[in-house]
Amino acid sequence: MRYGAWIAAAVVAVGGGLAAWSMTSRAAAVRPYPFRIPKPVNPDAEIAFLEQRVQRNPEGGLDLGALAGLYLKKGRTEKAAETAKQSLEKMPFSNPGAKLVLAAIAQSRHRFDECRRLAEEVLAESPRNEDAIGLLITTHLAVGAIDEAVVLADRLVDAIPTLASWSLHGLTMSAVGRDREALHDFARALEAEEFGQAELSAQVRAWLGRHHLRYGRLREARECLEAALAIDAANALALGLLADVDAREGRIDDAERRYSAAFHLSKAPVWMAKKAALKRGTEADELYDLAERMMRDEPFGHGTQLARLLLDRGRDAEALTVITQEAGTRRDAETLDTLALTLLRANRAAEARTVLRELLRQTSHPAVYARAAEVERALGVHSRATVYEGLAK
């Protein structure tokens, strides 16, 4: 699965901002990586090598497509899109890599119809392309089409029971709050890993760590995230999530260091915003300002994170404007939860209840029931709030 990082980016927000809840049962420890850990790959050197090949053979459509994928991995989105289009001009057929780059960019910018069209074009030529199926699944999740995502994920593992497909199924189960099934899927994914998939093997452990973190299982989360970093020390998701664990355990210096490292690797402003939340005074304001500028400079893909940041800074009215606009195109769990929270802060609990009813059709995560209880308390319906509190526990 060459483009696992795209799927990580797409799914990171799904339920990622929901509160963590503890569980009494001890989840199984993460499976040790069974292969020799490869030497780290220098992505800049890979890019330089392919750029030289393209200079020598500017008509090489496949080389251009591979280069576009590397640009995207490094966060150079505009350069990736330009190079992918050049690749398709040179080689309009049998060129899935370039189309998948454009599909991933379209998804990140909430052009979900375009992402779906490009992914389906790839599948028309290659029906078992896991990256294209993955983009379709994450697009369904992003727009709240949960049933479609689950059906597609089920079909994928039935047809291709690989590390990539089982992890995609696990991500889908995690997004809809089906904890036991998600844990089963991630375990099956790791059982299916093969030599030569070190980057994806690390990413799957990071996803599993994030799932544990969502349920407040800090020890299990740390085990998974440290295992991911032992395979790939440059995995920004694992670094950022391990910083979350550090922060919850009171290891503030470690959390700050890891947030900085995750930001350096990924340039994702969410890590800078989380570091800002650990600070006070002028230093916090400077970090928040930096994260906010970055989110606004790239408006697509950061709306929910920006709304959360504005809530943290006490700018509730502006947060409501931002999240309302975001929810116009994106209806995943975190976006709906943020919308409900912002409406509740604005004393619009009845509207928050409507949003939560939609959210509860997507997921049964305990934090959603807790939010629903909060809304019912605000509306004075204490009996219903008690029911939701029981479900949350």
Q: Tell me the domains of the chain and their CATH numbers.
A: 1-184 (1.25.40.10), 319-393 (1.25.40)
Q: Which long-range contacts (CB under 8 A, 24 or more apart) does 37-46 make?
A: 37/198, 37/230, 37/231, 38/198, 40/232, 40/233, 40/234, 43/70, 43/73, 43/74, 44/74, 46/70
Separation CA 320–CA 315 (nearest Å): 9
Measured between alpha carbons, how far is residue 76 from residues 57, 79, 85, 200, 266 in Å? 22, 6, 14, 21, 11
Q: Give just the sign of the alpha carbon dihedral 114, 299, 89, 70.
A: negative
Burial class (CB in 10 A: 0-12, 13-18, 19+), 293: exposed
List pLDDT tens digits, range 54-73.
999 988 899 999 999 999 98
List pLDDT tens digits, range 99-149.
999 999 999 888 999 999 999 999 999 998 999 999 999 999 999 999 999
Alpha helices in 34-162 (DSSP H): 43-56, 61-73, 77-90, 96-108, 112-125, 130-142, 146-159
* pTM score of the predicted model: 0.88
**Radius of gyration of the chain from Cα atoms?**
21
CB 81 within 8 A of CB 116: no
CB 375 within 8 A of CB 344: yes
- Per-residue pLDDT tens listing for the chain (393 residues): 444 434 444 444 434 456 544 443 445 578 899 999 888 778 889 999 999 999 999 888 999 999 999 999 887 889 999 999 999 999 999 999 999 999 999 998 889 999 999 999 999 999 989 999 999 999 999 999 999 999 999 999 999 999 999 999 999 999 999 999 999 999 999 999 999 999 999 999 999 999 999 999 999 999 999 999 999 999 999 999 999 999 999 999 999 999 999 999 988 999 999 999 999 999 999 999 999 999 998 766 689 999 999 999 999 999 999 999 999 999 999 999 999 999 999 999 999 999 999 999 999 899 999 999 999 999 999 999 999 999 998
List pLDDT tens digits, range 79-102.
999 999 999 999 999 999 999 999
Burial class (CB in 10 A: 0-12, 13-18, 19+), 56: exposed
